[in-house]
Amino acid sequence: MGQSVIKEVIPNEILSKRNLIGLSAAIHRIHQPQKDSDYEQAIASLKFHEALLLQLSLIERRNSFAEERAAILNDAGMAMEFEKHLDFEFTDSQQRVNQEIEQDLASGKPMHRLLQGEVGSGKTVVALRAIMLAAAKNLQSVLLAPTEVLAEQHFESIRTALGEDLTRQLGLRLLTGSLGALDRKKTELDLASGKCLLAVGTHALFSERIQFADLALVVIDEQHRFGVMQREAIKQKGKAAPHVLTMTATPIPRTIAITAFGDLEISTLRELPRGRQPIETHVVKITSPALVSRVWQRVAEEVAKGRQAFVVCPRISGKEYEEGSTGASEVAPAAAEEVFDSLKKNPALAGLRVGLMHGRLDYEQKQAVMASFAAGEIDVLVSTTVIEVGVNIPNATAMIVLDADRFGISQLHQLRGRIGRGQHSGICLLLSASEEDSLAAQRLTALANSTDGFELSELDLELRGEGDVLGENQAGTKSQLRLLKVTRDGELIEQARELAKELLSQELPESLKHGMKLMLLGELASA
């Protein structure tokens, strides 16, 4: 590529101070280096371009939020009533985050806050308290969940947490794609009239048919599972810019936070509520029949104590398995339907009630299975990862994950968080055929040795590299980072962020504005 084709975007005085070169020269030297130092300088320069332009874009977007107006939510009456209704006290972390959210909501500017915390750290109850601040002004809130199972779980747990009086005051409604026509119509009317002040749902809430009387607060659970366009669509449904609170149970390393979520304020819940029980985690070689047999005996022992167990599989059915798919196992990965059939015939589990749960079941079927499991009518629930987040069965103490090498650390940590939520400690058994020195084995060993989600997320990032770490958190983020690696370039990203703040405090050169546009479009190298 000729040097003349490239238009420079970062002023030379910024580059020269750092012994870096312009875009045109850097691309030329990568293709035609005269010596090793030419190539190294070119790579460093291109990384700097990516880091600075991305941080400029994120901080400018964050600054633009401050220019918008939002509802002032400063009446804490219902929030106080809600707190009195709870049968526990907020942890110090929750109290701190409650104050941060209160300040945001009373500012008259739209809140854009990311709330991260371990499984069971109490994010949902913090979000509910924020929803009370909107309801006190007779304004509406929505809680968006990425799956119907999670939306349904949220709906039930919120109804319990609110109690009858507050549930009635808020006109709590559930809206998912599986909702029947009559229920859907009633929910749509209640949202349009303002009778419903809190709707819990999935992407169905993005539908053009859904209109809100006055939407003031959007709570998004597990942001990385929603696309950029979906999140923007729900924000457009408010009369003014709605406040947005995003929750994630996947702890986010700082370099990821400022790269992928640089336009958000970040709150962290580091304490677990009192009463959470310890969980033992062990890796079991699936190639050892004796060890696998012992796994099912252990499940039977837990059930004999009056407890319950999850068995998680990577797939619903064997038909999904495609020849040539990657993975440590040479055989097809465990499928929930086949495992369900085999466990019903397993002598170690004789007399136990085995249930089946996966994403292809319709709403009524999923509700019936989860209700049976919650009521203790199912001893062992065979499932896919639909139970990864949000499912709360305090009596469940055993988590068996088949072909655990097919899951990432964060996902396994989420699954493990489904047990030990009651009075009894839990055991998590990870069955794997991975070789001892493989990356998959390292992941599983790390999980067995630690229960600290923040520590594990850093390790997960280090082991699997960039992968889908950034996902769709910002428009184009996945494609625009060609050379910059958040796993290795944390210091550069921090420096670029500080410089971006300094540059945005004054009039920005036109070349940088042009570079930011190209960066977001993923067209920087073709400038």
Does residue 257 share a domain with residue 389? no
DSSP lists the bridge partners of residue 220 as 144, 246
Q: What is the pLDDT of residue 494?
A: 87
Number of domains in the chain: 3
Kindly state the tokens that stand for 217. 């607060």
Does residue 324 share a domain with residue 239? no
Q: What is the pLDDT of residue 320?
A: 54
Q: What is the pLDDT of residue 458?
A: 76
- Condensed to tens digits (0 to 9), the pLDDT of residues 17-72 reads 999 999 889 988 988 888 889 999 999 999 999 889 888 888 888 888 778 899 99
Does residue 297 share a domain with residue 160? no
Question: With left for phi above 0 and alpha for psi between -120 and 50, is residue 507 left, alpha or beta?
Answer: beta
Sign of CA dihedral 417, 422, 427, 431: negative
For the beta sheet containing 279-285, the strands, ordered from the edge strand earlier in sequence to the opposite edge, are 279-285, 426-432, 396-401, 308-312, 380-383, 354-357
Asked if residue 206 belongs to a domain, the reply is yes
Does residue 189 share a domain with residue 220? yes
Q: What span, in angstroms and rounded, lies between the C-alpha atoms of 351 and 321? A: 31
Interior angle at CA 97, CA 73 and CA 153, nearest 5? 85
Kindly state the tokens that stand for 505. 């405090």
In terms of Cβ atoms closer than 10 Å to its own Cβ (0-12, 13-18, 19+), residue 234 is: buried
Highest mean pLDDT among 422-431, 459-468, 471-480: 422-431
Dihedral pair phi/psi, residue 174, rounded to 5°: -110, 135
Mean pLDDT along residues 375-398: 87
Asked if residue 191 belongs to a domain, the reply is yes
With beta carbons less than 8 A apart as the criterion, state whether 204 and 155 touch: no
Q: What is the pLDDT of residue 520?
A: 61
Sign of CA dihedral 22, 25, 31, 32: negative
Q: What span, in angstroms and rounded, lies between the C-alpha atoms of 263 and 308? A: 42
Does residue 291 share a domain with residue 252? no
Asked if residue 462 belongs to a domain, the reply is no
Q: Residue 225 belongs to a domain with what CATH number?
A: 3.40.50.300
Q: What is the pLDDT of residue 15?
A: 92
Q: How many CA atoms lie less than 13 Å away from 301 in the CB half-sphere?
A: 9
Whether 498 has a pLDDT exceeding 70, the answer reads yes
Distances (CA, A) of 172 to 83, 207, 217, 244: 18, 19, 15, 19
Q: What span, in angstroms and rounded, lies between the C-alpha atoms of 523 and 168? A: 52
Does residue 351 share a domain with residue 228? no
* Boundaries of domain holding 368: 279-450
Asked if residue 470 belongs to a domain, the reply is no
Does residue 377 share a domain with residue 285? yes
Does residue 429 share a domain with residue 365? yes
Of 473, 467, 501, 472, nearest in space to 486 by CA: 467
From 223, 243, 269, the end of a domain falls on: 269
Alpha helices (runs of H) in 227-358, residue ranges in sequence order: 228-235, 254-260, 289-304, 336-345
One-letter identity of residue 517 = K
Whether 260 has a pLDDT exceeding 90, the answer reads no
Whether 327 has a pLDDT exceeding 60, the answer reads no
Does residue 291 share a domain with residue 260? no
For the beta sheet containing 112-117, the strands, ordered from the edge strand earlier in sequence to the opposite edge, are 173-175, 198-201, 140-144, 215-221, 243-248, 112-117, 265-269
pTM confidence score: 0.74
With beta carbons less than 8 A apart as the criterion, state whether 145 and 154 touch: yes
Asked if residue 484 belongs to a domain, the reply is no
Asked if residue 467 belongs to a domain, the reply is no
From 422, 450, 478, the end of a domain falls on: 450
Q: What is the pLDDT of residue 482?
A: 74
Q: How does residue 139 score in pLDDT terms, banded at 50, 70 and 90?
A: very high
Q: What is the pLDDT of residue 473?
A: 42
Kindly state the tokens that stand for 196. 């419903």
Q: How does residue 237 score in pLDDT terms, banded at 50, 70 and 90?
A: confident
- The pLDDT > 90 percentage for the chain reads 46
DSSP lists the bridge partners of residue 380 as 309, 354
Does residue 298 share a domain with residue 379? yes
Whether 128 has a pLDDT exceeding 90, the answer reads yes
Asked if residue 475 belongs to a domain, the reply is no
3-state secondary structure of 328: coil
Mean pLDDT along residues 291-314: 97
Asked if residue 230 belongs to a domain, the reply is yes
Q: What span, in angstroms and rounded, lies between the C-alpha atoms of 224 and 407? A: 17
Whether 268 has a pLDDT exceeding 70, the answer reads yes
Question: How many residues are present in the chain?
Answer: 527
H or E element, residue 197: none
Q: What span, in angstroms and rounded, lies between the C-alpha atoms of 490 and 51? A: 10
Does residue 214 share a domain with residue 88? yes
Kindly state the tokens that stand for 441. 């084995």
Does residue 172 share a domain with residue 83? yes
Q: How does residue 390 score in pLDDT terms, banded at 50, 70 and 90?
A: low
With beta carbons less than 8 A apart as the criterion, state whether 158 and 85 touch: no
Kindly state the tokens that stand for 22. 């312009």
Q: How does residue 238 score in pLDDT terms, banded at 50, 70 and 90?
A: confident
From 238, 269, 300, the end of a domain falls on: 269
Long-range contacts of 515-520 (CB under 8 A, 24+ apart): 515/9, 515/10, 515/49, 515/53, 515/56, 516/53, 516/56, 516/57, 516/60, 518/9, 518/53, 519/50, 519/53, 519/54, 519/57, 519/476, 519/480, 520/57, 520/475, 520/476, 520/480
Q: What span, in angstroms and rounded, lies between the C-alpha atoms of 29 and 40? A: 9
